[in-house]
Structure 1
Amino acid sequence: MGKDIVRKCGGVPLAVKTLGSQLYSKTDEREWKLVRDSEIWELKQEDAGHILPALRLSYTRLPPHLRQCLAYCSHLQKDGTEYSSNALIRYWMAHGILDQSHVHGNMELEDIGELYFKDLWARSFFQNVTDYGIFKYLRVVELDRCSLQVLPSSIGSLKHLRYLNLSINEEITKVPNAICRLQSLQTLYLDGCENLEELPRDISELISLRTLDLTTKQTNFPENGVGCLKSLRFLGIFECSNLNSLPRETSYLASLRNLVLCSCEQLNLGNVNYQGTPLRLHKLDIFNLPRMVALPEWLQGAANTLQLLAIHECENLEALPEWLASFTSLRKLVLDSCPKLSSLPEGMRSLTSLRELVIDDCLELERRCQRDIGEDWPKISHVPHVSFQY
């Protein structure tokens, strides 16, 4: 039957290729018979509208959703003008001819259009298609501070993307879930996106993500989200005015090296399901967390690894815990603008690795830590560098 069909194509390679692309995956004998025995082969050229029977036959066999998209292309200029696939997909969208009913899942219109284009291309309805390889090879995308309002879901096709910066786009409200298909992504910056309503629901699928900075209007992190990012090394949470808790899962805590928490007025650091999980945290920077009255218990898991602890503008922090004395790797401690902090733990002399202590704008604590005369000076006299201005 295949040889019969080839003979009917009259030696035209395009006709053979077009029908072949539709039949190569068909294993039902009836499909092949319908093509071979179609009445379209018998039409005269003028009756067929000067269209090769093979091409007309392949068109009539198209699914309705593809046939409509292909028919639209008859409106395009045929004077050598080049069209991008993205432009064509947007034309289809504008005319409302992208059918969402036959696809599975919550696919964006751009994704559906891309499927249609690739399907028509595979069936040889598009010729001279140049694949420039940008969705294939791009590694870095910088879109910070560019008044971005919508990020197209086609971003999910950049399979090799490793670095994506969307910082300080104050008008963006949503990041498409398609971004979660970027399994090579290592760095994602969403900080300063003050109107971002929520993070993509499948963000845990970013299995290579190592650095994440974010700003969101969410009140909490859903389960199986950020807390399940097992490759995460750096996490920055900035100006999340509604956020009241960190992710409850400890998967991300076990992998983190650096954690920055900044200007989250409602954030309670104690809402983590801590069960003595050993951490590998090296640096913890805390800025302007008014609800923090004490360091969270889960931080004890980093007693053997934490090297820098910096606490800034925490107006209600009343004391440092006695268990801080067990942080044998701590090299630098910064206490800045914490007015209620009036003394240091008794065990400070156990911090034998501590090389630098900075105390700034903590009036009572500064008084107590003055060299030789302050009540807390004996606790810190072993520290090589003690200063009172940050």
Structure 2
Amino acid sequence: MFRLKDYHVEPPVSMDREETHSFVLDEKFNGREDDKKAIIKLLLEPNNEENVSIIPIVGIGGSGKTTLAQSVYNDKKIQFELKMWICISDVFDVKMIIQKIILATGMEPVDHSMDKLQDQLRKIIHQKKYLLVLDDVWNEDPHKWDSLKDLLACGTKGSKIVIITCARLVAEITCPVSIYTLKGLNEEQSWLLFKQIAFRKKQGTNNPRLEAIGWEIVHKCQGIPLGIKSIGNVLRLEKTKHKWSYVKNNILESATQQKKIDTFPILKLSYDHLPSHLKSCFAFCSLFLKDYEIDKGPFIQLWIVQGFIRPSSKNQELEDVADEYFKDLLWRSFFEEVANADGDINEEVPTSSFFQSLKSIYISHCPILKGWWRSISTTDYQQHPHHQSLPSFHHLFALCIEDCPNLTSLPPFPYLEESLYLYKISLKPLQRTIAMNSPLPSSSSFLSSPFSKLKSITLISIKDTEALPDDWMSNLSSLKKLYIQASPKLKSLSLAVPHLTSLKYLEISNCKLFDSISDMGDGGIEWQYLKCLSSLHYESVPNLKSIPSGLQHVTTLRRLVIFDYPDLKIFPELTSVVYLQISGCPNLTSIPNGISKLTSLEELYISHC
């Protein structure tokens, strides 16, 4: 009933710091010495035709392109006036790339307009010999590339741009004549790399049976360093023939069914065999955007507050233990599998508990943020149990999302109580989230419905809705304040009205098509559902021709503000109103009869009429 799960918790494993540091340095670059020399030669060659020449490095995922480029970039032979390294990833946005390049030089963008950014970039690189590395490029649009290339052409002779990509087409678009293709390691190089990791440097190869299986594994990995390192890390603590054979037969077979190796099953294998205390820490990394640069200090503090850090003795400081975890993950080369981790690894984070005490979330101006989980349909969610474990913020008090146009899902908030503030986002992710928060038919009846405790909703610049969705408005029995502004397609609130029985404050502003709560030929009787409404504010709603007559049924209304109401001529009898403000109504030539009958009126403001 409570969906409890049984987990085996392993004790923390102590690590040897000295071996960790040197071991990474020994194995990380094994087998790429000739490739490094070739890339350095290309970078040091004089440019014959253009001031800035381009060197694309192409290779399949996991082949070691980035590691190779990093080694070249940091080599003492590579001397440039400016050296810049930026990650591109999935979105090839020229403006964003320019901003990243400026930041990589140690400067801040002076202005975020495109023209100013372009001018600043030209000034920074003008007549300078620079090296620019663009890592993880996927753009196949030649026009976008040409627009960026033109901006970068003002460097002096000898300037180089290195493009790192998995896609041959990308390399051909950027520079078809000087593509450097990174091939897999040969078997001898692969075996040396695998042996250093799997058998550990100090132990050596002292088991002929495991060595024979190791050679078969290396052959199946097809020279891909990432796969070799991942498998080696899994097996380095395993000493039985049975375990090695299992990895070779069951895991590698599925990873190598096609002509080219698929690295993800190998990465997943490496993840599955992490100690439990490291598994949670690593899964947490998938909350960050691809290519996000992790600052270790604040990052390990997040681990600590999540409760991931478990000291093995009372005398250990949490920060010291967290630092050991971090170094162990670096040693295992995970932080190189993280941006590409998907599927089950990401699900391990939408299924683990985190930020259980969080009371408020504020997210602002995140243009490429997509959401909290991979897109799934509501039907899939209800049919597959593992999706029912998506992290929920049970103590969330307030949620504010501003200007996130690509958002496809919101954080689950089954008990959101105080306020929901949405600005410049689509309502579709909100509806999807509510559907996932809604109790399933088989759930216990005591579970609250989404929004059932919510007191305030503010919707600004919501451009994709004509009416508030009835499937979530029906849960707003506790709502006291509703504020809607600049929603150009919003036409009516009629379907929502019967559920707004606790509403005290309603404001509709700058909604060009809004036609109030329609009277539906019954004298506006549905207004009587608003039995707690005390304040109503209408501003810039030109489609309204008159104050709705149904307001006379709202006996609790005390405050009414009418602003920028061009066609106002008729005013109903609102005997309970004590404060009335009318502004910006140019066609109002005299006080309507209805106003003269407001026997409870105490304050009256009329301006710009």
Range class of TM-score, shorter chain: 0.5 to 0.7
Contact 2:407-2:429 within 8 A present in 1 as well: yes
Q: Is 2:386 the counterpart of 1:141?
A: no
Go from structure 1 to structure 2 and tell me whether the alpha carbon gap of 1:295 and 1:349 turns closer, same or farther (over 3 Å shift): closer
Residues 159, 277 of structure 1: CA spacing in aligned structure 2 closer, same or farther, 3 A cutoff? closer
Change (3 A) 1:319 1:158: same
In structure 2, the partner of 1:106 is: none
Question: Shift in Å at residue 69 of structure 1?
Answer: 6.3
Q: Secondary structure at the match of 2:529?
A: coil
Partner of 1:189: 421
Say which of 451, 454, 460 aligns to 1:209: 454
For the pair 1:342 / 2:589, whether they are aligned, the reply is yes
What CA distance in whole angstroms lies between the structure 1 residues aligned with 2:515 and 2:427? 20
Give the conservation status (yes or no) of the 8 Å contact 1:69–1:92: no
Q: Secondary structure at the match of 2:349?
A: helix
Asked if structure 2 preserves the Cα contact closer than 8 Å seen for 1:69 and 1:97, the reply is no
8 Å CA contact 1:310, 1:333 repeated in 2: yes
Q: 2:340 aligns with which of 69, 75, 94?
A: 94
Q: Offset at 1:346?
A: 3.2
Where 1:212 maps in the other structure, the secondary structure is strand
**In 2, distance between residues paired with 1:261 and 1:318?**
19
User: Match of 2:185?
Assistant: none
Instruction: Tell me how far 1:278 sits from its aligned partner.
Output: 5.0
The Cα of 1:279 is off from its aligned counterpart by 1.9
1:165 to 400, 422, 429: 400
RMSD: 4.2
Distance across 2 between alignment mates of 1:282 and 1:308: 6
How many residue pairs match? The answer is 280
Task: Label 1:228 to 1:268 Cα distance change in 2 as closer, same or farther (>3 A).
Answer: farther
Q: Letter of the aligned partner of 2:372 in structure 1?
A: S
Superposition pairs of residues 104-143 of structure 1, within 5 angstroms: 110=346, 112-114=347-349, 118=352, 134=355, 136-143=356-363
1:302-321 mapped onto 2 (5 Å cutoff): 302=554, 304-321=555-572
Matching residue of 1:35: none
Over residues 353-372 of structure 1, what are the superposed CA-to-partner deviations in whole Å (9 max), with x where a residue is unaligned? 3221000001xxxxxxxxxx
Match of 1:332 in 2: 579
For residue 41 of structure 1, what is the aligned residue in structure 2? none
- Higher percent of residues as helix: 2
> What stretches of structure 2 of length at least 5 have no aligned partner?
1-7, 12-206, 214-234, 255-263, 289-336, 374-389, 435-448
Query: Which amino acid is the alignment partner of residue 331 of structure 1?
Result: V
Q: What one-letter code is carried by the residue in structure 1 that aligns with 2:426?
A: L
TM-aligned CA distance change 1:221 to 1:251, over 3 Å = same
1:285 paired residue among 533, 537, 542: 537
Question: CA 1:269–1:173 in structure 2 vs 1: closer, same or farther (change >3 Å)?
Answer: farther
Give distance in 1, aligned partners of 2:517 and 2:287.
48
Higher relative contact order (CA 8 A, sep 6+): 2
**Alpha-carbon distance in 2 for matches of 1:162, 1:259:** 21
Letter in 1 for 2:284: N
The 2-side partners of 1:14 and 1:142 are apart by 36
TM-score of the aligned structures, taking structure 1 as reference length: 0.59
**More displaced 10-residue stretch of structure 1: 308-317 or 348-357:** 348-357
Is the alpha carbon distance of 1:173 and 1:342 closer, same or farther for their aligned partners in structure 2, counting shifts above 3 Å?
Answer: farther
> For residues 367-378 of structure 1, what are the structure 2 equivalents within 5 Å?
none
Identity over aligned residues, as a percent?
21
Match of 2:148 in 1: none
User: Structure 1 residues 310 and 52, CA, compared in 2 at 3 Å: closer, same or farther?
Assistant: farther
Within 5 Å, give how 1:20-31 maps onto structure 2: none
| Secondary structure of 2:562 counterpart | strand
Output the CA distance in 2 between the equivalents of 1:240 and 1:88.
Answer: 34
Kindly provide the amino acid, as one letter, of the partner of residue 493 in structure 2: L
CA distance in 2 between partners of 1:220 and 1:174 (Å): 20
Paired residue for 2:430, among 176, 200, 219?
A: 200
Q: In the aligned structure 2, how far is the partner of 1:249 from the partner of 1:74?
A: 48
**1:333-356 C-alpha deviation (Å, 9 max, x unpaired):** 000001122333435454343221
Counterpart Cα distance in 2 of 1:242 and 1:13? 53
Cα distance in 2 between the residues matched to 1:221 and 1:332: 28
Secondary structure of 1:309's aligned partner:
strand
Question: Deviation above 6 Å: which 4+ runs of structure 1?
Answer: 66-69, 74-77
Specify the alignment match of 1:301 in structure 2.
Answer: 553
Partner of 1:174: 407
**Conserved 8 A contact 1:319-1:343:** no
- 1:14-58 deviation digits (Å, cap 9, x = unpaired): 49xxxxxxxxxxxxxxxxxxxxxxxxxxxx9x86965388x969x
Matches of 2:608 and 2:450, distance apart in 1: 43
Alignment of 1:51 onto 2:238: yes
2:283 maps to a residue whose letter is S
Deviation at 1:287, TM superposition (A): 0.6
The equivalent residue for 2:156 is none
CA–CA separation in structure 2 for the residues paired with 1:237 and 1:258: 11
Give the AA of the match of 1:73. Answer: Y
Assess if the C-alpha contact under 8 Å between 2:421 and 2:458 holds in 1.
yes
TM superposition shift of 1:84:
4.8
The answer for the alignment partner of 1:269 in structure 2 is 516
Q: TM-score, normalised to structure 2's length?
A: 0.40
**Closer, same or farther in 2 for the Cα pair 1:13/1:92, shift >3 Å?**
closer
In 2, Cα distance between equivalents of 1:82 and 1:249: 43
State the Cα deviation string for residues 231-281 of structure 1 (Å, max 9, x = none).
111001110011122251323432211011000001111337743435211
8 A Cα contact 1:288 1:312, kept in partner = yes
In the alignment, the residues of structure 2 paired with residue 277 and residue 164 of structure 1 have an alpha-carbon distance, to the nearest angstrom, of 27
1:150 aligns with 2:369: yes
Quote the Cα distance in structure 2 between the aligned partners of 1:210 and 1:148. 28
Partner of 1:238: 485
SS of the equivalent of 1:236 reads strand
In structure 2, give the amino acid aligned to 1:190: L
8 Å CA contact 1:143, 1:166 repeated in 2: yes
Displacement of 1:199 after TM fit? Answer: 5.8
Distance 1:56 1:14 in 2: 19
Kept in 1: contact 2:416–2:450 (CA 8 A)? no
1-side partners of 2:9 and 2:283: how far apart? 25
Match of 1:31 in 2: none
